[in-house]
Structure 1
């Protein structure tokens, strides 16, 4: 190798191009080599900082996760985030650093420093709220974040004032005929399946196989369409999803991809510039579905309809009144949040009861003993009053199979916060992981067993039932949880009162599912037959 005459040693060190043979000097290659060296230096120095000097360096977790967010993104995109995070907590404890600037917490019962739920999601008087990480939520088409996502605090409080009466017990009592109508439609479909019977391998008579998950989703979507805007979707009548509902389920897998894009401002800006036309049109059609339903409901305002939107319209002229765009956003919110998660919870309960026959027998005896005269006397109010064990079964299903199993990140405000006895710097994203918290042995004895008895009044065994928060915690918890519980009690009581179910393939672990924020569910195929006594 030869060099240009007169080249000094410092020149060789500072100029990578000096190492190139004479005649092959390339300014572009020189820039490329220098840029690569700088990038490597940046990555190395960033990794060293993340592992030693970063404010989160003292928190436990894999070194690779401390240096890069890639392992977390990979777990999310492949649908394995829930069990990946659970495994991290099992190995590292109740606090895990799972990416450079993120901590996941288990609300641990043995920790004397307090509750992670309260520290992160609660808001003491005079304290600053931990805002939700906006990039975690798929950006609404019209830019208006709703009551269940990253709405600014003043807007969120206004939304809750508008909608809180819609989920009160008094309003729900007036809406019971709507619920009963759609539950009757569900029972009619199940009766039809039960009356067409086939012999089983055990010699018992079974109904034709039917997807219980699908029927429960049909029911909850029909109820919410009717309750929200007096426009049921007619899914039970058609025994098929509408294109809009099908698109909702199909889009779940891309939620983590949207979160990745939205997390990085440069990537988000670039995607907006090159976003395929087909994707833009799909998002717009989804938005217009809810918007058109709102417009149709507003056109019927003079008909005296008594639904959730009637309460929304009563706020017009007040400081709390919703704009038209806010109405569009919340019609979409209630159609999805009040339907998919409720159907998911009930499907999980059906499966868990069928896998635990002694629990199934116990809850059937309770329901059939409480309503010996049949369906006609069963109401939401009486179900709540008489069916304590069914309520415990619902709570236990929510623990073992929470409809939203992941942690929803919040950002620690200035000047920082002590969480579970450890100081967390401002700007850190923190969350309480539902699934890991509910399977934590310090919270629930034998956490992998379906034990509804742990939720009964007077139950002993050391379980921390306050750790179970499937509807969220604090001032931003789910506003519709009262309705969801009443709806689940009514539907499950009617189903258990009138029918016996049997899994078509009891060897398949139906709960072994991937999750893309929400669970990716397979059909829950069951044989159904009418109960001998109900």
Structure 2
């Protein structure tokens, strides 16, 4: 009896002692895990300033990424600490235009960092592949489809969907001037003061998705006609991918909001990319990340469904998917099934979100700066003639200087890719702006911040003023301007994106006069990997051409 009591007492003391050990060991281990690397300082970064927590942990960068305003907060850090800021234990942000030409240059040996592993979905594609040889192989297959010759063949398809947008706006405008209102498009529309009032962001989304649907997969998503954000995904993605090349009615599908899914995926992947790889599987299961993980899966499903439908209907049409199928690497090998779908997913993301975000932002700036809008419309009227054509052609708009300046100024202030894209310093280290950085250090150059450099853009750098593109040092501005990234990992679809923006904005601004519903509106945004407007309500009036 006495022995039993002594045994129980001993076990109680042991349990208490064990809990005390755990209570001290867990936080102690956590602190040591972050403090030891700071003391060891293997990359020689201790002297660089930055937010206090960022010196020891990735928590600061994860927090600002999760908050969906990373570029703005990193910019504020640069204003506080200077041109080189430590934003994570092994990550320096360098807000110097000269660094852009070094960190992302051809032949410097720098690789994309582990940040990009968080963007892998079906399998690695051109965007998120990190191995240099594999990137070279993929780029050889993909880049030729965006040659200027191929891109020009897509022009009639782009113009067709721009015309559809204008048809929809004309239809709504004709009802609006009669004082009617309706629910076509997110947020609806109404007629007031002789104008059609609507949110132009969802319409920019519908347009961009339908264009890339047609160019990549042979048919649009139908968003413009339905005035609705909707795409089809399979309930069983693996089965649909196995069925490529044949129709399989047994595979169930469902409709999802594609734009919403795309936005959620971007915010999720950006945040995941800031976490060390060993934390990512755990984070994916936390309540704040579960929906993002589902968004990644659903977005992949959109590409899988679109590819399956396209391959089940053989055609000799020259679209992006047929070009991907025909592509061969240096050994004559084509893309495999998963690889083909991964590249199609990249096309879907890059070809929709970037165009819609940029279109909305530039329309906002032109609606806010009435003087710039009038100058642009004067240029368009002079060069496009007085014919009542719905859409401009590439030949008409490719050499219009003020149109170029309006687009560039919009892309400067609202670069859809504003975050600094991280690169890992190669073996032997790297000199950047007179400073040496050791092998393995992660460096990035934030587009948001260098696009607001006073020395390059002037004291009024926050103003939307297209005239600056004719007044200031052209060489310096072009070296600093970074809407499509720079070097061997720059946007492979730049030719297509540029042509789309020229045709879309020239066609819209020639046909309509646009004002902001709230003249004092500051464009609200959220940032995943891309920086996206949240809404832009405008009043449009058809011009007398």
TM-score range, shorter chain: 0.7 to 0.9
User: Judging changes above 3 Å, is the alpha-carbon distance between structure 1 residues 170 and 295 closer, same or farther for their aligned structure 2 residues?
Assistant: same
Distance in 2, matches of 1:159 and 1:49, equals 36
Distance in 1, matches of 2:282 and 2:34, equals 24
Distance in 1, matches of 2:59 and 2:286, equals 23
Report the CA distance between 1:247 and its aligned residue.
2.1
* Alignment-derived partner of residue 465 in structure 2: 451
**Equivalent in 131, 140, 144 of residue 161 of structure 1:** 140
Report the CA distance between 1:228 and its aligned residue.
0.9
Correspondence 1:315 to 2:304: no
The answer to whether the 8 Å contact 2:262/2:295 transfers is no
Correspondence 1:141 to 2:121: yes
Report the CA distance between 1:284 and its aligned residue.
4.0
Distance in 2, matches of 1:495 and 1:428, equals 46
Correspondence 1:184 to 2:196: no
Report the CA distance between 1:70 and its aligned residue.
1.8
**Equivalent in 190, 198, 203 of residue 215 of structure 1:** 203
The SS at the match of 1:526 is strand
Correspondence 1:131 to 2:131: no
* Alignment-derived partner of residue 61 in structure 1: 50
* Alignment-derived partner of residue 329 in structure 1: 342
* Alignment-derived partner of residue 173 in structure 1: 152
Correspondence 1:494 to 2:473: no
User: Judging changes above 3 Å, is the alpha-carbon distance between structure 1 residues 514 and 135 closer, same or farther for their aligned structure 2 residues?
Assistant: same
**Equivalent in 381, 388, 392 of residue 401 of structure 2:** 388
Correspondence 1:247 to 2:247: no
**Equivalent in 449, 465, 469 of residue 436 of structure 1:** 449
Distance in 2, matches of 1:349 and 1:277, equals 34
Q: For each residue in 1:88-142, what CA deviation from the matched residue of structure 2 results, as whole angstroms up to 9, or x when unmatched? A: 111221110112111001133xxxxxx2122211133xx42x2212334534333
* Alignment-derived partner of residue 531 in structure 2: 519
**Equivalent in 220, 234, 243 of residue 222 of structure 2:** 234
* Alignment-derived partner of residue 26 in structure 1: 13
Report the CA distance between 1:286 and its aligned residue.
3.3
* Alignment-derived partner of residue 105 in structure 1: 94
Report the CA distance between 1:153 and its aligned residue.
1.9
* Alignment-derived partner of residue 273 in structure 2: 259
The SS at the match of 2:514 is strand
Distance in 1, matches of 2:140 and 2:312, equals 24
Distance in 1, matches of 2:267 and 2:153, equals 38
Q: For each residue in 1:36-91, what CA deviation from the matched residue of structure 2 results, as whole angstroms up to 9, or x when unmatched? A: 54555552695376268551012122333212222222111112322111011112
The SS at the match of 2:538 is strand
- In structure 1, runs of 5+ residues without a counterpart are 1-21, 109-114
Distance in 2, matches of 1:522 and 1:46, equals 37
Bigger mean CA offset, 349-358 vs 310-319: 310-319
Q: For each residue in 1:211-251, what CA deviation from the matched residue of structure 2 results, as whole angstroms up to 9, or x when unmatched? A: 21111111111111101110211111000011251322344
Correspondence 1:73 to 2:73: no
* Alignment-derived partner of residue 299 in structure 1: 312
Correspondence 1:413 to 2:396: no
Q: CA RMSD in A?
A: 2.9
Distance in 1, matches of 2:297 and 2:172, equals 38
Report the CA distance between 1:198 and its aligned residue.
4.8
Distance in 1, matches of 2:526 and 2:290, equals 29
Q: Name the count of aligned residue pairs.
A: 494
The answer to whether the 8 Å contact 2:111/2:130 transfers is no
Distance in 1, matches of 2:506 and 2:444, equals 35
Bigger mean CA offset, 235-244 vs 519-528: 519-528
Report the CA distance between 1:267 and its aligned residue.
2.5
User: Judging changes above 3 Å, is the alpha-carbon distance between structure 1 residues 173 and 354 closer, same or farther for their aligned structure 2 residues?
Assistant: same
Q: For each residue in 1:378-419, what CA deviation from the matched residue of structure 2 results, as whole angstroms up to 9, or x when unmatched? A: 31122102x111111111111101111111111112232111
Correspondence 1:350 to 2:329: no
Correspondence 1:94 to 2:74: no
The SS at the match of 1:464 is helix
The answer to whether the 8 Å contact 1:374/1:497 transfers is no
Distance in 2, matches of 1:147 and 1:519, equals 21
Report the CA distance between 1:500 and its aligned residue.
0.7
* Alignment-derived partner of residue 225 in structure 1: 213
User: Judging changes above 3 Å, is the alpha-carbon distance between structure 1 residues 459 and 71 closer, same or farther for their aligned structure 2 residues?
Assistant: closer
User: Judging changes above 3 Å, is the alpha-carbon distance between structure 1 residues 88 and 352 closer, same or farther for their aligned structure 2 residues?
Assistant: same
Report the CA distance between 1:282 and its aligned residue.
5.8
Distance in 2, matches of 1:53 and 1:316, equals 45
Q: For each residue in 1:346-388, what CA deviation from the matched residue of structure 2 results, as whole angstroms up to 9, or x when unmatched? A: 1111111111111111111111111123354831122102x11
